[in-house]
Amino acid sequence: MSYYIARTVSGPLDAVVADVITRLRAHGFGVLTDIDVQATLKSKLGVDMPGYRILGACNPRFAHEALQIEDKLGVLLPCNVIVRETTDQRVQVACVDPVVAVERTANPALKSTAEDVRRLLSEAVAEVGT
């Protein structure tokens, strides 16, 4: 089983990032963090790499629900979504599979919530670029 859900689209990185944020919001997620990995590695290590952003997405209702079940679940939050340039001049959007992530807790009470979050993230990713 894969630990992520992905889709590859055409377009400039910044436009795809904006589309991803719009799609996430439409499915009840906010973006809490936006890490520009490309810029960070350039400034800290002087290395060049293709565009790569990590968006920390959170659906407050589901986060609250899950934290009521497992109070240390915050170590797995927010749900990371990457938007990265590929070698063939396309852009890949990928997010963590929350069902796979919460399996690490060994708490079966989280399964239903994780499945709901997976469905919403999958829908958002599938809509990018359409």
Fold of 4-127: TATA-Binding Protein (3.30.310)
- Please give the Cα distance from 92 to 90 (Å, whole number): 7
pLDDT at 65: 96
User: Looking at residues 64-86, what average pLDDT do you find?
Assistant: 96
In the chain, DSSP assigns E strands to 4-9, 30-36, 52-58, 79-85, 91-96
pTM of the full predicted structure?
0.95
Share of the chain above pLDDT 70, in %: 99
pLDDT digits (tens, 9 = 90+) for 55-72: 999 999 999 999 999 999
Higher pLDDT, 1 or 122: 122
The tokens for 85 are 């340039």
User: Looking at residues 86-103, what average pLDDT do you find?
Assistant: 96
pLDDT digits (tens, 9 = 90+) for 12-40: 999 999 999 999 999 999 999 999 999 99
What b-and-e string marks burial along 54-74, b requiring 16 or more CB atoms within 10 Å of the CB? ebbbbbeebbeebeeebeebe
1 pLDDT above the threshold of 70: no
Q: Which residues pair with 7 in a beta bridge?
A: 93
How would you class 108 by CB atoms within 10 Å of its CB: exposed for 0-12, middle for 13-18, buried for 19 or more? exposed
User: Looking at residues 103-114, what average pLDDT do you find?
Assistant: 96
